[in-house]
Structure 1
Amino acid sequence: MTAAAVSAALASSASFAGTLDSVKERDSLQCGVSSGVPGYSVPDDKGTWTGLDVDVCRAIAAAVLGDASKVKYIPLTAKERFTALSSGEIDVLSRTTTWTLTRDSQLGINFAGVNYYDGQGFLVKKDLGVSSVKELDGATICIQSGTTTELNTADYFNANGLAHTPVTFDTNDQAATAFDTGRCDAFTTDLSQAFALRSRMGDPNSVVALPEVISKEPLGPSVKQADDQWFNMVKWSLNAMINAEELGVTSENVDDMKANSKNPSIQRLLGGSEGLSKGLGVDDDWAYRIVKQVGNYGESFERNLGASSPLGIDRGINALWNQGGFLYAPPIR
């Protein structure tokens, strides 16, 4: 590498450093979210945002600023999200975004973990009379542009010798609405989002999911590269929620656990090991605040996607690793 290239790299790194300090000085977290996906990130009629992705933003704010409400939510389309992150318009992207090689290595961003393991599927109207994606040869398919969904669809249809006509839209909501009004034969996206958007359709019972799941879609928050302290802060905010569920620490019992638990893992999680969080740049009660104000991962899943939500999605592979799922977080120690 030439001296000029080294200088440019160092300048780039410096420009990306210090997000934690910037968030503290601003006293607000700028979080990029979707333009409205039920269960993940959606505002109510009063402008209050809720969802699984929103809770990641709230957890970071609780850890860093002491208050989970100190978040400015910035709705972004799929095309806008990575530019907003790399330009510094947002501090973290928490927007149903799939972790892939090219995104992790070519866009100047780092994925900080997985908060939902998903897969791509297809919705059709029952009266279309098909029971498999392989019966959609020549179909029109409503799809969001600029996504892995668009690429996966092309790959799957090409691999199976099928023709299709993609009808693209800027948002999943637009694509789902177009499908619902008869513009396309099918609608495709990550299955959890498909079920969420089906709930908004005119007659949800007339819409079914085909059995094929054609991709792996590990969804999670991301940050821009060259700021390791901020990367660690976001990563461990999510890990704290997962570890809290595994340890049985909830928003309801966290005060009792902090005061009375003799479990060393719980004490470390809740600030009982002085100086453990020094490298994160926050005080030792950072994870306690996350659980107290936001809840553990299971609580977030239940109210946003699970049986307590309108979506009623089963935990499935998003259960903890010791309960038959994939969810696993490194230990806090």
Structure 2
Amino acid sequence: MKKRFLLMLGMIVLVSMIIVGCSGEEATTDDPANDDGTETTDTTTGSGGKLAEVMDRGHLIMGSNNTLPGFGYLNSAGEEEGFDVELGQVMATAIFGDKDAIEYRPLSAQERFTAVQSGEVDVLIRNTTWTLTRDVEVGLAFGPTTFYDGQGMMVPADSGFTTLEDLQGARIGVEQGTTTELNLTDQMRARGVDFEPVLFADRDSLIAAYESGTVDAWTTDQSGLVASYEVLADPSEHVIMDVVLSKEPLGPAVLDGDTRFFEVMYWSIMATIQAEEFGMTSENVDDFLDSEDPDIQRFLGVEPGNGAQLGLEEDFAYQIIKQVGNYGEIFDRNIGAESPFNLERGLNALYTDGGILYSPPFR
């Protein structure tokens, strides 16, 4: 009898403990929800992180290229200018409300990834291709693709070269530490074409060697080949072959592991695309402030919420468009219709205009 009583008493205590434990778990694991019933997820990295570091410093440090006309180069006044430069200004504007709150650190192809990994730069916006290895092994987190490019080949106009097979036995110049090295080797091997790759530390020395005849051809992204016409002594003596060796999705990147800073990079760039979708430009953005469209109100910060979620001012998107412009303005000014290069938008047009650019909703 005594044993049965003790056994029953133990079972009662055990059941009581389970009930109390379950009640406590329910009380502490309720998921917070927004007013619309959707779950709220905390994606911050704490009160510190890269965003706080940048804000405390008072300016953004961007890894750049200052030798690629159209994308990143020094103008006659010694100032950084170009498509990638303005994308850096977009991010600076989002964080500080000031497009000039940015410092540019010119980096070679070999230096760029180490500079991000070591924290020397906050963001890399330097004609850099998004690949699996760079995403995983190098430890970068790539933002939106800002320029869909492809690798091409430049040859002398009187060379007679029209196909890759014509380059049998040729010396081909390529910049060291870039995806173009591997792409070139893969494409030539697939075609059974023997060639001699000649590696150069930077773009300037590569172009100089090509013009002097040290190499028979040179390869890089097609946008880079087009940009080189600005520095060639006689552009009419050179042609870009009608071949595409690879896909080259170019875009900004930050060090992986800091979700909040990545989100700031991502959504600040997306703001330029969304603005173009709205038909919003640096010239007319003020006209949209009185819009009754809730999507536009949220985008411009008239209806608060977006900025607070990112740790930014509510009008961060408005400031981006007002100070820098939408994606189309940035493109045309630097590499498109208003530039010496006059590049077609192609894949880099909005999805409504035959391209593939598309912004997720700002809500």
How does the TM-score come out when normalised to structure 2?
0.86
Q: Which residue matches 1:96?
A: 127
* CA–CA distance in structure 1, aligned partners of residues 331 and 293 of structure 2: 25
- Any residues of structure 2 matched to 1:72-151 within 5 Å, and which? 72-151=103-182
Matches of 1:47 and 1:199, distance apart in 2: 17
Which residue number in structure 1 is paired with residue 270 of structure 2?
239
1:61 corresponds to:
92
Q: Say which is worse superposed, 266-275 or 141-150, in terms of deviation.
A: 266-275
Any conservation in 2 of the 1:141–1:184 contact (CA below 8 Å)?
yes
8 Å contact kept, 2:66–2:80: no
What is the aligned-residue identity percentage? 46
Task: Give the equivalent residue in structure 2 for 1:25.
Answer: 56
Question: Are the aligned partners of 1:249 and 1:296 in contact in 2 as well (CA < 8 Å)?
Answer: yes
Following TM superposition, the consecutive aligned residue runs of length 4 or more in structure 1 with deviations greater than 4 angstroms are: none
1:127 match: secondary structure? coil
Matched, 1:306 2:336: yes
CA contact (8 A) 1:125 1:186 kept: yes
CA distance in 1, matches of 2:281, 2:254: 27
- Please name the residue that 2:229 is paired with: 198
The match for 2:242 among 201, 206, 211 is 211
Secondary structure of 2:153's counterpart equals strand
Separation (CA, whole Å) in 1 of partners of 2:66 and 2:197:
22
Following TM superposition, by how much is the alpha carbon of 1:177 offset from its aligned partner in structure 2, in angstroms?
Answer: 2.1
Q: Which amino acid aligns with 2:285?
A: V
CA contact (8 A) 1:123 1:209 kept: yes
Alpha-carbon deviations, 1:143-198, whole Å to 9, x = none?
Answer: 10010001100000111100111111112222122112211110100001111012
Q: Which amino acid aligns with 1:306?
A: G
SS in 2 for 1:119: strand
Number of positions where the alignment pairs a residue of Structure 1 with one of Structure 2: 319
| Partner Cα distance (1:320, 1:94) in 2 | 21
CA distance in 1, matches of 2:252, 2:269: 9
| Structure possessing the higher radius of gyration over alpha carbons | 2
- Note if 1:173 corresponds to 2:200: no
Instruction: Show CA shifts across 1:206-244 (max 9, x none).
Output: 111111101000000000011110000001111000110
Q: Distance in 1 between matches of 2:100 and 2:140?
A: 25
| Gaps in structure 2 of 5+ consecutive residues | 1-44
The equivalent of 2:5 in structure 1 is none
Aligned-residue offset at 1:283: 1.3
Counterpart pick for 2:345 among 315, 318, 322: 315
In the TM superposition, what are the counterparts of 1:276-287 in structure 2 within 5 Å?
276-287=306-317
C-alpha RMSD of matched pairs (Å)? 1.5
Using structure 1 for the length normalisation, give the TM-score.
Answer: 0.93
Contact 2:89 2:100 in 1 (8 A): yes
Counterpart residue type for residue 336 of structure 2:
G
Instruction: Assess if the C-alpha contact under 8 Å between 2:299 and 2:306 holds in 1.
Output: no
Q: Which residue of 2 aligns with 1:220?
A: 251
Q: Which moved further from structure 2: 89-98 or 196-205?
A: 196-205
1:269-295, Cα deviation, whole Å (9 max, x unpaired): 111221222221101100111000100
- Do the aligned partners of 1:35 and 1:77 also contact (CA within 8 Å) in 2? no
Say which SS state the counterpart of residue 306 (structure 2) adopts.
coil
Which secondary structure does the structure 2 equivalent of 1:78 belong to?
Answer: coil
Higher mean C-alpha displacement, 19-28 vs 217-226: 19-28
Aligned-residue offset at 1:306: 0.6
Match of 1:293 in 2: 323
CA distance in structure 2 between the partners assigned to 1:181 and 1:322 by the alignment: 45
Residues 137 and 162, structure 1, Cα contact 8 Å, conserved in 2? yes
Give 5+ residue unaligned stretches, structure 1. Answer: 1-13
Which residue identity lines up with residue 176 of structure 1 in the other structure? Answer: I
